[in-house]
Structure 1
Amino acid sequence: MPRPYVLAETNWKHLKDESIELAVLPWAATEAHNYHLPYATDTIEGTAIAEESARIAWEEGAKVIVLPTIPFGVNTGQSDIYLDMNLNPSTQFAILKDLITVLDRQGIHKFMILNSHGGNNWKSIIRELGLLFPNMFICASQWPTILDRKQYFKIPGDHADEMETSLILHLAPELVLPKKDWGSGAEKKNKIKAFREGWAWTERPWSKISEDTGVGDPSNASKEKGERFFNAICEKMGQLFIDIAQADVDNLYE
């Protein structure tokens, strides 16, 4: 059965009489994830989290629609990693402007980017779009930051780590290579103290910080950990969908 909250699956017969309150756009990336995870890791994760969270919200009466996932993200620091695909922030802005124009014209005035890739940075883009579309409520969420990963994983990392490996073992185990092929995910740190401490920032050239493109030890990953984490993430994200769908955006502050 087509899920009515997934645009790619639903149909005109259903949508012609529907009144959607919130449109959610998962935005991911196509990039290497250590030796053992698929290039579509971020897309698989973001899509599954958006759709399951929308199911939770829909069953509570929130009129949410999940748009098809954008599978390409900002990968400017990985230009020499073979077939890591890049969209520049200016391209992301142009895509969002066109999509939000459709929603605004059709009376869907709440829009969320569900971010599934660390290289995507939405704040400045949303600020600019907000001036162009004053009738739209535009926001972004980043699912990896929702929960304290230390409560779920022994060695939380940054990329293709225990967390992501566990999630893909749960969501798409057939795409994960045997454990003997997993890289260590060892990361080289910046020699300058301020960058190591995080109060100064510069882009990481990926091929210089990681031999296997991973950042974080995946060796303790398991399907069971992935399932538990996925369910907890979707529970919180689903509630956010409900809260936004039901909110009076002209009266958000107290």
Structure 2
Amino acid sequence: MQLTEATWTDADGLDTDLALLPVGSTEQHGPHAPLGTDRLTARAVARSAADVREENGEETVVAPAIPVGIAEEHRQFTGTLWVSPDSFRKYVRDVLTSLASHGWRKIVVVNGHGGNVGALREVCADVTRHEEAYAVPFTWFDAIGATEMGHGGPVETAMLRATDPELVHDERIEEASAGASDGWGEWVSGTNLAFDSAEFTDNGAVGDPGEGTIERGEELLEEATAALVTLLDAVDERDR
């Protein structure tokens, strides 16, 4: 069930303690992909997994996606929004505990932004240790081992082609590829000298978005959905 589309009486009638909380970011993804890429992909994976479970007769609550995360590393690119790690952790924690207050005490946080990973692990641990709830983070591209991830590169562009194709600017793909960097950061002796993406990519993209086909996107969505369903089954069965 999508909470944003349900009435409170619909939500009250659910017989489940399992919920999904999509979390993303509003940040640049090159000239060809939307600022909301991370929120859109996280939401798509969460909804897809919930649909699979519903087909199997198992209810799952899908909360509204959190749209702004820890993304100051993209601050030089117009439209990027960010909050401090402390603000992010507190906000996510409050959303998790409000879900738990309604009886949805087993929660998987479906993340689409690399900058959120550390904070989400911390806040899920804190909620699990100190509240009557169990929360775990799930980052979809890490779960499927998307090694060519980049940023606004082939993986995210492909995923968007599968989930929100109308938001990909095909006429800018060549431009995005030309201004993209090959990798994330400036590495010396195992240390990344760059703190902001503008230090190593001209237009914000990392990796060649031209390689992000819809066929690859459909594969990614299927793999991420399967990984999340497997995790949800494990969380559902876990005795806390």
TM-score of the superposed pair, with normalisation by structure 1? 0.84
The alignment status of 1:216 with 2:213, answered yes or no, reads no
Q: Give percent identity, aligned residues only.
A: 22
| Amino acid paired to 2:46 | A
Q: How many residues align?
A: 234
Q: Higher helix proportion, which one?
A: 2
Map of 1:136 onto structure 2: 133
Query: Does 1:170 find its partner at 2:162?
Result: yes
Displacement after TM superposition at 1:217 (Å): 1.5
In structure 2, the residue corresponding to 1:43 is in which secondary structure?
helix
Corresponding residue for residue 198 of structure 2: 207
1:10-49, aligned counterparts within 5 Å?
A: 10-49=6-45
User: How do 1:72-91 and structure 2 match up within 5 A?
Assistant: 72-91=68-87
Give the secondary structure class of the aligned counterpart of 1:111: strand
Task: Tell me whether 45-54 or 119-128 shows the greater mean CA deviation.
Answer: 119-128
1: CA distance between counterparts of 2:93 and 2:122?
Answer: 13
Written as runs of structure 1 = structure 2, the 5 A alignment for 1:49-128 is 49-120=45-116, 121=118, 122-128=120-126
Cα 1:126–1:203 shift into 2, 3 Å: farther
CA distance in 2, matches of 1:182, 1:78: 16
Look up the match of 2:239: 249
Question: By how many angstroms is 1:238 displaced?
Answer: 1.9
Note if contact 1:146-1:233 (Cα within 8 Å) is conserved in structure 2: yes
Q: Among 109, 127, 147, which residue is 2:144 paired with?
A: 147
Deviations 1:187-238 (A, max 9, x none): 4642422126xxxxx7631110111111111222211111122112112212
Q: In 2, Cα distance between the equivalents of 1:97 and 1:171?
A: 28
Runs of 4+ in 1 over 4 A off after TM superposition: none
**CA-to-partner distance for each residue in 1:42-93, whole Å, 9 max, x for gaps?**
1111111100111112222333101000111101222222221002121122
> Does the CA contact (< 8 Å) of 1:29 and 1:73 recur in 2?
yes
Counterpart of 1:164 in structure 2: which amino acid? E
Greater Rg by CA: 1
TM superposition score normalised by structure 2: 0.89
Task: Give the 3 Å change call, closer, same or farther, for CA 205–112 of structure 1 in structure 2.
Answer: same
Q: Which has the higher contact order (CA 8 A, sep 6+)?
A: 1
Q: 1:104 to 1:167 in 2, by over 3 A?
A: closer
Distance 1:30 1:45 in 2: 12
Asked whether the equivalents of residues 74 and 89 of structure 1 are also in contact (C-alpha less than 8 Å), the reply is yes
Deviations 1:14-56 (A, max 9, x none): 3232222211110000111111111111111111110011111
Partner of residue 181, structure 2:
186
- Relative to structure 1, is the Cα distance of residues 26 and 203 closer, same or farther in structure 2, using a 3 angstrom cutoff? farther
SS at match of 2:3: coil
Larger mean Cα displacement after TM superposition, 140-149 or 41-50: 140-149
> Within 1, Cα distance between the matches of 2:210 and 2:99?
43
Shifted more, 186-195 versus 216-225: the winner is 186-195
CA RMSD, aligned part only? Answer: 2.0
Letter in 1 for 2:133: M
Q: Is the 8 A contact 1:54 1:241 kept in 2?
A: no
Query: Against the structure 1 CA distance between its residues 137 and 219, is the aligned structure 2 distance closer, same or farther, given a 3 Å change threshold?
Result: same
- Aligned partner of 1:210: which letter? T
Task: Please give the alpha-carbon distance, in whole angstroms, between the structure 2 residues aligned to 1:25 and 1:47.
Answer: 8
- Gaps of at least 5 residues in structure 1 are 151-155, 197-201
